[in-house]
């Protein structure tokens, strides 16, 4: 079947028996995967499951894989990215490849810039016109002359999509596209993806956020340890079933027994409101309690947490240990005994070009400094070593740059930083995002240990099975409002998901 004869529903990609080794490690083990024109096929799995490796085979980044590939009805062997792009395959990676110092038009037309009349010059008028034609076709509200560095991450993603579509991409891979996006941006991106689907483009959608898949995907394939566990129509697959397929064990096996006993109220939130984000948020947090906040991406849950911590301004009142918290700011909240681990670890959680020791000690520099305010390297090292041992951080060298650690160990460093301050309340926004199963289990035990020691924990997670197995109470947030409260223990994952999407509401 020729490319021109392809129509929605036709198979445009078939990967059969794909195998890839890295030394003695089998990263992909006889993987089968297919995609139809005008379909959104989600690919999910834990870290190390093989998702990125499989997509890198499709993108032509490996020449030593085994198996068969058919793209748009033709048997091919992809051995380099240029070949894959020539076939109409594009990949939008989480780490975007746009060039910030160039304009929107220059990024869209990169590699195919119209030449000017004189040798070595550009026809900038034609460049802007051709880029605008692409933007108009995609209904993207972007100015061709805007500098990309000044755009939000979400709008930079649109620039990268436009660049791919201009190259006549008909098979597009999105690798964790919502990981760095806020709620409104996620909704807009979904609209864009649906429009691409309506154009007949086949889309592979990689995400760790299982709760968002029913909003965007048609089918889902689960990988575990380099093998396909199964492929399901999304309409026939519950969130809990997907979680269990990914993990390969009963979800409850990963969680420690509950040992905490909620006590007196230590944090009161009343009427918290930020127009456009959330409205009239009120709740209590008790000593030794794990309070879950559940909701789909874009529901307002992160924005609520940031407002409580003072990272964003909002109207309303907060009381901590019976005293008002006026003019909230992260500095004031930290001084009173409130800490927060934010969702974006790379952007907000770590000083990437600094050592593990400094990243751990940054929250208690006043205690690690001398009489005149100069940092004492020995104190920083000793403080870091204590926390490295407590958290099981590997490697154990405090002088090592944090950016050289795995995602799981970086998250342990961020947690360790807050434990140095010994906060009374700790807000955890996506604390296990992007880390492996073993590290997740360690963090679950740590959360339970903190609650058992009397800390108040606010837990936000896209993994609903984390919420139901750790929380004592769960607040459901939808469209910026708390719509329901449920108990934590015994709550069914699928019932929680149904409540968050409003299923059954009158």
Distance of CA 306 to the CA centre of its chain: 17
pLDDT of 182: 65
The pLDDT tens digits for 165-189 are 887 889 999 988 877 676 677 888 8
Of the chain, the percentage scoring pLDDT greater than 90 comes to 55
Average model confidence (pLDDT) across the chain: 89
pLDDT of 149: 92
- Residue found under tokens 């409205």: 279
**Residues in Cβ contact with 116 at an 8 Å cutoff, skipping those fewer than 6 apart:** 122, 123, 124
Edge to edge, the sheet with strand 11-22 lists: 25-36, 11-22, 66-71, 74-76
Q: Which domains does the chain have, with CATH numbers?
A: 3-249 (3.40.50.300), 254-337+423-501 (3.40.50.300), 354-417 (no CATH)
The pLDDT tens digits for 446-481 are 999 999 999 999 999 988 889 999 999 999 999 999
Do residues 262 and 286 touch, judged by C-beta distance below 8 A? Answer: yes
pLDDT of 5: 59
Do residues 475 and 491 touch, judged by C-beta distance below 8 A? Answer: no
pTM flag (> 0.85): no
pLDDT of 222: 95
Positive or negative torsion for Cα 143, 149, 151, 156: positive
**Residues in Cβ contact with 378 at an 8 Å cutoff, skipping those fewer than 6 apart:** none
Of the chain, the percentage scoring pLDDT greater than 70 comes to 94
Do residues 54 and 45 touch, judged by C-beta distance below 8 A? Answer: no
**Nearest by Cα to 454 from 289, 277, 225:** 289
Distance of CA 380 to the CA centre of its chain: 31
**Nearest by Cα to 81 from 111, 60, 52:** 60
Measured from the Cβ of residue 76, the count of other Cβ atoms closer than 10 Å reads 14
The pLDDT tens digits for 309-324 are 999 999 999 999 999 9
Question: 296: helix, coil or strand?
Answer: coil
As a whole number of angstroms, the distance between CA 471 and CA 486 comes to 10
| Long-range contacts (CB closer than 8 Å, 24 or more residues apart) made by 256-261 | 256/444, 256/445, 256/448, 258/448, 258/472, 258/489, 259/448, 259/451, 259/452, 260/288, 260/289, 260/290, 260/448, 260/451, 260/452, 260/472, 261/288
Q: Tell me whether the omega of the peptide bond preceding residue 395 falls within 30 degrees of 0, making it cis.
A: yes
Kindly tell me if the per-residue pLDDT of 2 is higher than 50.
Answer: no
Kindly tell me if the per-residue pLDDT of 4 is higher than 80.
Answer: no
The pLDDT tens digits for 334-385 are 999 999 998 866 666 677 778 888 889 888 877 777 665 667 788 888 888 9
Kindly tell me if the per-residue pLDDT of 132 is higher than 80.
Answer: yes
As a whole number of angstroms, the distance between CA 209 and CA 243 comes to 10
Kindly tell me if the per-residue pLDDT of 220 is higher than 90.
Answer: yes
Kindly tell me if the per-residue pLDDT of 239 is higher than 90.
Answer: no
């Amino acid at each position: 079947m020729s490319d021109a004869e392809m129509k929605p529903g036709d198979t445009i990609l078939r990967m059969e028996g794909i195998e890839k080794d890295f030394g003695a490690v089998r990263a992909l083990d006889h993987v089968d995967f297919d995609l139809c024109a005008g379909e959104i096929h989600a690919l999910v799995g834990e870290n190390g499951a093989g998702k990125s490796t499989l997509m890198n085979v499709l993108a032509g980044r490996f020449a030593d894989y085994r198996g068969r590939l058919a793209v748009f009805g033709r048997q091919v062997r992809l051995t380099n990215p240029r070949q894959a792009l020539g076939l109409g395959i594009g990949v939008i990676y989480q780490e975007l490849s746009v060039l910030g110092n160039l304009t929107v038009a220059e990024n869209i037309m990169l590699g195919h810039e119209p030449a000017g009349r004189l040798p070595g010059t550009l026809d900038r008028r034609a460049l802007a016109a051709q880029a605008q034609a692409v933007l108009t076709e995609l209904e993207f509200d972007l100015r061709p002359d805007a500098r990309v560095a000044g755009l939000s991450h979400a709008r930079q993603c649109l620039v990268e999509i436009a660049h791919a579509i201009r190259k006549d991409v008909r098979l597009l891979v999105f690798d964790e596209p919502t990981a760095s996006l806020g709620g409104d941006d996620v909704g807009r991106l979904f609209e864009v993806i649906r429009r691409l689907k309506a154009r007949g483009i086949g889309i592979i959608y990689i995400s760790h956020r299982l709760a968002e898949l029913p909003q965007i995907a048609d089918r889902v394939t689960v990988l575990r340890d380099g093998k396909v566990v199964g492929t399901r129509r999304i309409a026939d697959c519950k969130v809990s079933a997907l979680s269990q397929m990914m993990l390969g064990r009963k979800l409850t096996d990963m969680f420690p027994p509950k040992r905490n006993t909620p006590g007196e109220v230590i944090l009161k939130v009343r009427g918290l409101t930020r127009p456009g984000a959330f409205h009239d948020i009120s709740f209590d947090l008790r000593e030794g309690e794990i309070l879950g906040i559940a909701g789909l991406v874009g529901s307002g849950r992160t924005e609520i947490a940031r407002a409580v911590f003072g990272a964003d301004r909002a109207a309303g009142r907060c009381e901590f240990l019976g005293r008002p918290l006026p003019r909230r700011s992260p500095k004031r909240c930290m001084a009173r005994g409130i800490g927060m681990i934010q969702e974006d670890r790379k952007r907000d959680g770590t000083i990437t070009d600094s050592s593990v020791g400094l990243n751990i000690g940054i929250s208690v520099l006043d205690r690690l400094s001398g009489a005149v305010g100069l940092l004492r390297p020995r104190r920083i090292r000793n403080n870091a070593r204590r926390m490295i041992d407590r958290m099981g951080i590997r490697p154990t060298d405090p002088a090592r740059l944090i950016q050289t650690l795995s995602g799981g160990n970086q998250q342990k460093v961020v947690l360790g930083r807050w434990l140095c301050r010994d906060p009374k309340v700790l807000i955890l926004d996506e604390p296990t995002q992007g880390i492996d199963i073993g590290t997740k289990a360690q963090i679950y035990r740590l959360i339970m240990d903190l609650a058992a020691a009397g800390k108040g924990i606010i837990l936000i997670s896209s993994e609903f099975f984390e919420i139901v197995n750790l929380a004592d109470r769960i607040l459901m947030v939808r469209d910026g409002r708390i719509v329901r409260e449920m108990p934590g223990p015994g709550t069914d994952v699928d019932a929680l998901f149904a409540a968050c999407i409003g299923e059954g509401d009158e």
